[in-house]
Amino acid sequence: MTKIGNVRVGGSNPVRIMGILNASPESFYKKSIYTGKTLRDAAKSMENQGADFVDIGGMSTAPYLSSIVSEKTESNRVITAIKIIQNSTNLPISVDTCRAKVARDALEHGVEIINDISGLQYDKEMQNIVSEFTPSLILCAYSQRTVLGSPVMTTKRLLKKSLMIAKKSHIPHDKIVLDPAIGFFRRTGKGPFFTKTNSDWLERDLSILKNLGSIKQTFPVLVSVSNKSFIGKILKNRKSHARLFGSVAAEAISVMNGADIIRTHNVEATRDAVLVASRICCNARK
């Protein structure tokens, strides 16, 4: 049975909720940016609303933003946030980073989960860090080269590559969750944290969400669709702050298609959608 941050995920376990807490002012969704007291209050609120974990980001990785900051800045933001959350909640903490130094700093401060949107591929030192600390991992589909082929097969191939790296780093299968990278396959981008593809990015994301059962294989799968671009596109270019209802709809459908964890900015609304979708699609996940 898979556990991340000592929380059982996948199988007949309830669909879990991961709340997003951004300590990065550059983040695309401005309502998710917190510091100091607002961070403490947001973490406590997410815990009370039913989050099972929180995910801290110290640098935005949105493909369409120029948001690179120094490792020192990212690490300082993350460590400050970790201390605040640890002092105000009992929630397991995930850190969203592709950088080994940031991951080490977080793990040395008691973080239990590393969420690497490059699937351990952006920073080669990340393999050594996860081998040393053996944290739970969220591995995202990613490639530094342009990918071709069907979205589902390409995504499965990239995830397999990251799984091989995790295996070499001595991470047990039961500490791994897969993320099919909604929003991170693009024709163009302003930063290094996306996978270049010649296919239509909207159709790619929709295809992935329709085929989660094929992608997850024997691993739990995390889906992060909250306020993302494909929702704005479907809603005729609606801005990120006005995508709540579309996000909740996509999250409910993701649950019905096999998602085991929903990563979201909107914990309370997402929790209701997850409970209803779980009850409709499979009584084992009440």
Write the pLDDT tens digit of every residue in 205-244: 999 999 999 998 899 999 999 999 999 999 998 888 889 9
Query: Hey, how many other C-beta atoms are within 10 angstroms of the C-beta on 208?
Result: 24
Instruction: Say how far apart CA 175 and CA 5 lie, in whole Å.
Output: 9
- Long-range residue pairs from 65-71, CB within 8 A, at least 24 positions apart, any chain: 65/26, 65/28, 65/190, 65/191, 66/190, 66/191, 67/24, 67/26, 67/27, 67/190, 67/191, 68/191, 68/192, 69/24, 69/26, 71/99, 71/101, 71/102
Better-scored residue on pLDDT, 32 or 166: 166
Check if the beta carbon of residue 92 is closer than 8 Å to that of residue 4.
yes
**235-284 confidence digits (pLDDT tens):** 998 888 889 999 999 999 999 999 999 999 999 999 999 999 999 987 55
- Structure-token pair, residue 213: 């059962």
At residue 1 the predicted structure's pLDDT band, cuts being 50, 70 and 90, is confident
How distant, in Å, are the alpha carbons of 81, 153, 227, 238, 259 from that of 251?
Answer: 26, 22, 11, 18, 9
CA distance 111 to 12: 26
Residue 99 CA, chain-centre distance (Å), reads: 15
- For residue 85, CA distances in Å to 38, 82, 128, 195, 252 come to 11, 5, 27, 32, 28
**Cα angle 4-88-74, degrees, rounded to a multiple of 5:** 65
Residue type, position 8, single letter: R
SS3 194: coil
User: What structural domains and CATH numbers belong to the chain?
Assistant: 2-281 (3.20.20.20)
- How much is the average pLDDT of 131-156? 94
Give me the residues paired with residue 140 across strands: 179
What share of the chain in percent tops pLDDT 90? 78
Q: pLDDT per residue over 94-121, tens digit each? A: 999 999 999 999 999 999 999 999 999 9
pLDDT at 251: 98
Residues 6+ apart with CB under 8 A from 191: 61, 62, 63, 65, 66, 67, 68
End-to-end alpha-carbon separation of the chain, Å?
Answer: 18
**Average model confidence (pLDDT) across the chain:** 92
Specify whether the CB–CB gap between 40 and 88 falls below 8 A. yes
Going by DSSP bridges, is the β-strand pair 2-4/7-9 parallel, antiparallel, or unpaired? Answer: antiparallel
Q: Which two tokens stand for residue 240?
A: 């990120």
